[in-house]
Chain A
Amino acid sequence: MRRAYFGIEGLDRNLEKGLSYGSQIMVEGDSGIGKTVLAGEFIKEGLRCGDTCIYVACDEPPAIMREHLLSFKVGTPAYEETGRLIFIDAYEESSSTEKYAFLDHIDLEKYFALEAEVLRSCAGRRVRLVVDSLSTLFTMVDSSDILEFHRTRIKQLRKNGILTMDIFVKGVLEPRLITITGHLYNFMLKMTFSNSRSNPVRVIQIGKVKSQQFVSTRHIFTISPIYGILINAELGVSK
């Protein structure tokens, strides 16, 4: 069976057998840490592997991700023309010029319907879905609604074999909600700045939630304008 990778050598080394399609990845990170860059790497890898990639832009207009991918010499026009790269605009609301736009940020059901519609248009293909960031979609919604929506959605995505990356900005949602939500994912990536104020270092942890604990390997990483995320060093396993 075909397996997937992030497209970042230092992280992929941790995934001996890769990710199976239908897996869900939760990315939680500090603001400005490079979550969107990570999403870009994940999409780049998907496009090269023949996957159809769907990017839901919630925090910035889709044009930002287009430019980001183009800056890495990814020919977005070719992929968009052939329907291999699809953007859902959940940022611009009524002024969006995208084919797919999510207009009502309070109604998660409408989002669910739009996501399902786009996924149906990709039936029969290997699909990667990135929501950047899901926490933004959740900001105006009650916790109970979030959990109900989330369980249903994840179940559906798993059933349909969609490889999903949901991004959460740290501090936007309550920690309790994040913890409960985290249990629904196969993999978790936490991206944080280290404590040193004078020389902040970017750290990424990749792992799984096992028996209420996040078991992960920690890596220092940097962001290169040419190569994207570069994993510099492994800091060992932490719990």
Chain B
Amino acid sequence: MKHDDFSIETICRVYFGMYKTIDQLPFSGRHWLEQFMFETVYRLLDDHKNEYQFISRRPADVCRTYFDFLNQLYPNWVDYQLEESGEDLLVYIKRDNCAYWNFCRQTQVEGLSFFCVRLGTLQAALRIVLGENYSTAVEIDEKGICCGKLFHSAQPKEEIVSREGNILKIAGRRAVLLPQEIYASMMISIREHAPHALKHVLYDAGYQSGLYTARKARALYPNAEECLRFLLVEVMNMGFGKTELVSLDLSRATARIRCYDSFQVTVANEYGRLYRSPQVICDLLRGVFAAYLSVLLKKEIICEEMSCQSVEGSCCEFLALPLPQETGREVEAPCLEE
């Protein structure tokens, strides 16, 4: 079977349309892209079941067999190198030789979720052939080589926000969608009757809800950075605002996160300020981020909003650092076990 520029462009257009649509759907994300890859690879393998043979059950061999089968089906379709690193699989693909490079570049330009098609198909093949779940991560080095990693994941991926019949759930806990009017009226009411409690109520609410979501995500994504990125997409899916991980230093347990168009800023702009003076107001998000990082980094993290879009600038910026202890040691996260 031959592939030509037209068919590659068409496939990329289909992928692009799909990625863009997924980004616009509420409560969607990477999970659905992985599901789509799974179905595509499953169909491909099923349609050509007499043209390949997975003799070895070693994950690296499964990947090689799958790519070799693709190259047999479509000559020179994948130019790759594959290595084993402990239980992880490392896949190197020259960017210029990848049929999907233009598509990847376009998704980045448009700010869409990044999910490597190549690794996605390997992830699907491993699940189909071995029945095992793998996560993926990709780094692009300066020489133009995509360095992909496939690593074991204990549980199958699933959406943090799910619907079971008429019950909506977030991280397995019952949830409810509220229009901003309800949130605003609750805040105005607290401001009226207990203004001193506002920040505490919001921070604690964010922290407690963040703990549930982070615990659930941690089980799905063992890699802390990947898990944090996943959770930040979930923050957007839940309507809090568009988040960006500016930096994460795992050795120092510090993170800098930005949020564009925070929900709380919009509410303050439409329903009036909660405080007398212009100040940072996104305490709910502050609590959420503190909880996420406390679970992921396994020590108690405190997060501050250093600048807020409600005061100035185009985004809110949060800085998270470990909670210090009297003796200078950092505090381990308490009560984080389920």
Contact = CB atoms under 8 A, between A and B. Distances in A.
B326 A63 contact: yes
A83 to B, nearest CB: 11
A4 B277 contact: yes
A90 to B, nearest CB: 21
B279 A81 contact: no
Interface in A8-35: 8-9, 12, 18
A48 B279 contact: yes
Given A70-B323, A227-B197, A228-B196, A77 B280 contact: no
Q: Is the contact region of chain A dominated by helix, strand, or loop, or is it mixed?
A: mixed
Nearest to A66: B324
A175 B227 CA distance: 62
Given A48-B280, A63-B326, A79 B304 contact: yes
Interface residues of B, number: 24
A3 B277 contact: yes
Contacts of A226: 200
Interface string A57-96: 0000001001100100111111101101000000000000
B319 interface: yes
A75 B319 contact: yes
A172 interface: no
**Central interface residue in B200, B304, B319, by most chain A CB within 10 Å:** B304
Contact of A81 (B200, B275, B321): B321
B277 A75 contact: no
A5 interface: yes
Q: Is the contact region of chain B dominated by helix, strand, or loop, or is it mixed?
A: mixed
A48 B203 CA distance: 14
B326 A75 contact: no
B200 A73 contact: yes
Interface in B79-131: none
Interface in B43-72: none
A79 to B, nearest CB: 6
B277 A227 contact: no
Nearest to A3: B277
Nearest to B287: A73
A232 to B, nearest CB: 11
Contacts of A79: 304
Nearest to B195: A9
Contacts of A73: 200, 203, 302
Given A73-B302, A79-B304, 13 more contacts: A3-B277, A4-B277, A8-B196, A45-B277, A45-B279, A50-B280, A50-B307, A73-B200, A73-B203, A75-B319, A75-B320, A77-B324, A227-B196
Nearest 3 pairs of A and B residues by beta carbon: A75-B304, A77-B321, A78-B304
Interface of B: 195-197, 200, 203, 275-280, 302-304, 306-307, 311, 319-324, 326
8 contacts: A5-B277, A18-B277, A50-B280, A78-B319, A79-B304, A84-B306, A226-B200, A227-B197
